[in-house]
């Protein structure tokens, strides 16, 4: 008897209203800087998007919402048959509402169905978004390592931005956010 | 390297895109960069006959520090077999675009497009029911000539009926082409209709493509389209192309032998015509004569 095999998908949610602060386009960066330099708007339109919990104006997305949205999408696109096939091993192992990155466990055979359903999600709780799969692997370990690396790259970029803006509070906050997210990811059961 | 060869930029009013359109285009391109694409084609769609003295309205964005190839593309919606659309490189309004696509709306034109039209892409509207059957004999002609068929996923993300039609049409296209000569592009009107390249590869496997082939649909097949377009536009009978001396890189200057002084004169001329980006044909004929002396030319 062959053991039951899983796939772990590492995905990222890209929202329409969050600036792509971590892309390397100088134009986009300078735009964010301009927004922040105006004191009136800085509080309202944060260039860092949803990075810190305190900055988030909307309630953070709960794991439950994400799983429901995914199951709805599976039913819509693949019908009851698809929903039934994927139901059992489908679990959200990790999701961080401030880095918008999560790890999903699915069975290996039905990977394409679940991934296809993720592709066709248009919005989460009324917020238009894209779900982009960053990495797939057969063990959760590699997903964890990739998550930490991905988070680090992004937080470093934001920290550099904060340094440029001389925003000390944001700088330390991001440092803490990185430690926190790394600990959280490491604490996952393997 | 991933390509998205269909970002629609058809100006909503007038001949030049408004500031609103340009902002929207910029958003889409920035998201494409974030998702990991490295080449994009801005698509202008024109139905019916090309207007006289048509100028390419596509402006390529300045993206400093970003590795993003940008092409301009024309999609001509053709619906009348008796009309002459002037689909050849001598037509100056078509030569202004990098990539040329046609969207045939009936079977006769589809046959003509597969068999005779000098184009790079045949783009059918896959989000509605196709008005004709795709036959292997017709499609085979296009495959032999190196013309690619396009699948656009943007409409499928917008609504469910389009998704259903796309899946059904894609299946029949994959069946008749046997998975060859297909490219997948977005045709995303708004940024949120784009998807990551590997997400689309996975969608391709759901449509019945092999995983490796699905990846090629976004990468090497698109590259083939770009090369096909280049060959169509800038070569003489797809055998020989003449480039100005000045286009040689610094490290290749030795090929010129002693002719650097005349190359220098040429250089200034070419620079100007590059800036204007228009009447390429006219300027290349003048530079041809000068360049011929220095280029090693294959015997005809």
Condensed to tens digits (0 to 9), the pLDDT of residues B211-253 reads 898 898 888 998 888 888 888 877 777 777 777 777 777 777 7
Residues B26-59 pLDDT 10s: 888 888 888 888 888 888 888 777 776 777 777 7
How far, in Å, CA of A161 to CA of A17, rounded? 19
- Give the ipTM: 0.72
Residue A173 has pLDDT above 80, yes or no: no
Between CA B170 and CA B151 the distance in angstroms is 7
Structure confidence at residue A142 as a pLDDT band (50, 70, 90): confident
Percent of chain A with pLDDT over 70: 66
CATH number at residue A55: 3.30.70.3250
What's the pLDDT band for A121 if we cut at 50, 70, 90?
confident
What stretches of A6-154 adopt beta strand conformation (E)? Answer: 6-15, 91-96, 101-107, 123-124, 127-137
Per-residue pLDDT band for A27 (boundaries 50, 70, 90) equals very low
Round to whole Å and give the CA distance between A21 and B61. 19
Q: Strands B121-123, A91-96: parallel, antiparallel or unpaired by DSSP?
A: unpaired
Q: Which of B10-14, B208-212, B275-279 has the lowest mean pLDDT?
A: B275-279
Separation in Å, CA of B204 to nearest CA in chain A: 9
The pLDDT, as a whole number, for residue B16 is 64
Does residue A186 lie within any of the structural domains? no
The Cα–Cα gap between B134 and A63 comes to: 45
> What pLDDT was estimated at residue B254?
77
Residue B166 · residue B127 · CB < 8 Å: yes
pLDDT at B62 over 60: yes
**pLDDT score, position A138:** 87
Q: What is the mean pLDDT of residues B5-26?
A: 74
pLDDT at B259: 55
pTM for the predicted model, two decimal places:
0.74
Looking at residue A19, what DSSP letter applies? -
**Confidence class of residue A61 from pLDDT cuts 50, 70 and 90?**
low
Do A52 and A177 form a contact (C-beta atoms < 8 A)?
A: yes
Q: Distance between CA atoms of B148 and B129, rounded to whole angstroms?
A: 20
Decide if A159 is inside a domain.
Answer: no
Reported confidence tier of residue A188, pLDDT bands at 50, 70, 90: low
Region of poorest pLDDT, from B77-86, B109-118, B162-171, B206-215: B77-86
Average pLDDT over every residue of B135-155 = 87
pLDDT value of position A35: 40
Task: Report the pLDDT value the prediction gives residue A43, as an integer from 0 to 100.
Answer: 35
Residue A45 lies in a domain: yes
- Which helix or strand (DSSP H or E) is residue B54 part of? none
pLDDT given for residue A96 in this prediction = 76
CA dist., res. A8 & res. A42, Å (int) = 38
Q: Which residue has the higher pLDDT, B287 or B190?
A: B190
Burial B12-33 (b: 16+ CB within 10 A, else e): eeeeebeeebeebbbbbbbbbb
Distance CA A10, CA A14 (A): 13
Q: Using 50, 70 and 90 to split pLDDT, how confident is the model at B279?
A: very low
What pLDDT score was predicted for residue A18? 64
Top residue of A130, A136, A157 to mutate, by most chain B CBs within 10 Å, is A130
Contact B203 A116 (CB under 8 A): yes
A81-85, A86-90, B148-152: the lowest-pLDDT one: A86-90
Q: Which residues of B touch A (CB under 8 A)?
A: 26, 30-31, 33-35, 63-66, 156-157, 160, 163, 191-192, 194-196, 198-200, 202-203, 205-206
Which of B25, B202, B214 would best serve as a mutation to test chain A binding (most A beta carbons within 10 A)? B202
Residues B214, B218: Cα–Cα separation, whole Å? 7
Residue A32 domain flag: yes
A112: in domain: yes
Contact B195 A130 (CB under 8 A): yes
pLDDT on residue B300: 42
pLDDT > 90: what percent of chain A?
0
pLDDT at A51: 43
Q: Is residue A157 part of a domain?
A: no
Q: What is the spatial distance between Cα B242 and Cα B248, in angstroms, rounded to a whole number?
A: 12
Q: Is residue A169 situated within a structural domain?
A: no
> What mean pLDDT is predicted for residues B90-96?
74
Provide the number of structural domains found in chain A: 1
d(CA B150, CA B170): 10
| pLDDT in the model for residue A156 | 75
A16 vs B192: CB contact, 8 Å cut-off? yes
Residue A104: strand pairing partners: A9, A92
What percent of chain B clears pLDDT 70, i.e. is strictly above it? 79
Between B107 and A61, the higher pLDDT residue: B107
Contacts of B199 in chain A (CB under 8 A): 115, 118-119, 131-133
The answer on pLDDT for B293 being more than 80 is: no
Give the separation between CA B10 and CA B72, rounded to whole angstroms.
Answer: 11
Highest mean pLDDT (candidates A15-29, A103-117, A159-173):
A103-117
More confident residue, B262 or A90: A90
In a domain, residue A30? The reply is yes
| Domains, chain B | 3-233 (3.20.20.140), 241-292 (no CATH)
The stretch A24-37 carries a mean pLDDT of: 37
Domain range spanning residue A68? 6-140
């Amino acid at each position: 008897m062959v053991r039951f095999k899983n796939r772990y998908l590492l995905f990222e949610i890209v929202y329409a209203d969050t600036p792509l602060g971590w892309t390397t386009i100088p134009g986009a960066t300078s735009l964010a800087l301009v927004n922040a330099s105006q004191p009136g708007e800085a509080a309202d339109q944060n260039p860092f998007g949803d990075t810190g919990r305190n900055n988030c104006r909307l309630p953070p997305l709960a794991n439950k919402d994400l799983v429901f949205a995914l199951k709805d999408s599976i039913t819509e696109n693949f019908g009851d048959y698809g929903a039934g096939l994927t139901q059992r091993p489908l679990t959200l192992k990790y999701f961080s509402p401030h880095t918008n990155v999560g790890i999903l466990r699915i069975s290996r055979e039905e990977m394409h169905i679940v991934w296809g359903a993720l592709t066709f999600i248009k919005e989460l709780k009324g917020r238009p978004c894209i779900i982009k799969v960053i990495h797939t692997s057969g063990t959760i370990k590699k997903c964890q390592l990739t998550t930490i690396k991905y988070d680090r790259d992004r937080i470093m970029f934001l920290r550099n931005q904060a340094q440029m803006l001389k925003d000390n509070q944001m700088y330390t906050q991001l440092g803490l956010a990185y430690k926190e997210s790394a600990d959280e990811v490491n604490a996952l059961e393997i | 390297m991933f390509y998205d060869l269909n970002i629609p930029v058809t100006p909503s009013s007038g001949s030049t895109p408004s500031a609103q359109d340009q902002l929207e285009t910029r958003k889409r391109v920035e998201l494409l960069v974030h998702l990991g694409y490295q080449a994009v084609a801005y698509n202008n769609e024109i139905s019916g006959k090309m207007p006289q003295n048509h100028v390419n309205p596509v402006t390529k964005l300045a993206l400093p520090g970003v590795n993003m190839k940008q092409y301009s593309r024309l999609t001509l919606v053709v619906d009348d077999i008796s009309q002459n659309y002037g689909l050849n490189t001598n037509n100056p309004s078509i030569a202004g675009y990098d990539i040329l696509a046609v969207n045939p709306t009936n079977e006769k034109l589809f046959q003509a497009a597969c068999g005779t039209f000098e184009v790079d892409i045949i783009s059918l509207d896959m989000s509605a029911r196709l008005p004709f059957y795709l036959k292997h004999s017709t499609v085979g002609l296009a495959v032999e000539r190196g013309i690619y068929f396009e699948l656009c996923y943007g409409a499928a993300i917008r609504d469910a009926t389009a998704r259903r039609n796309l899946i059904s049409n894609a299946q029949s296209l994959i069946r008749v082409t046997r998975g060859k000569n297909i490219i997948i592009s977005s045709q995303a009107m708004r940024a949120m209709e784009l998807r990551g390249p590997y997400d689309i590869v996975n969608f391709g496997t759901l449509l019945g493509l092999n995983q490796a082939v699905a990846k090629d649909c976004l990468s090497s097949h698109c590259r083939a389209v770009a090369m096909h377009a280049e060959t169509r536009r800038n070569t003489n009978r797809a055998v020989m192309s003449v480039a100005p001396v000045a286009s040689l890189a610094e490290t290749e200057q030795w090929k010129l032998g002693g002719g650097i002084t005349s190359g220098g004169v040429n250089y200034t001329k070419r620079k100007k015509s590059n800036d204007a980006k228009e009447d390429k044909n006219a300027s290349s004929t003048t530079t041809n004569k000068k360049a011929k002396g220095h280029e090693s030319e294959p015997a005809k």
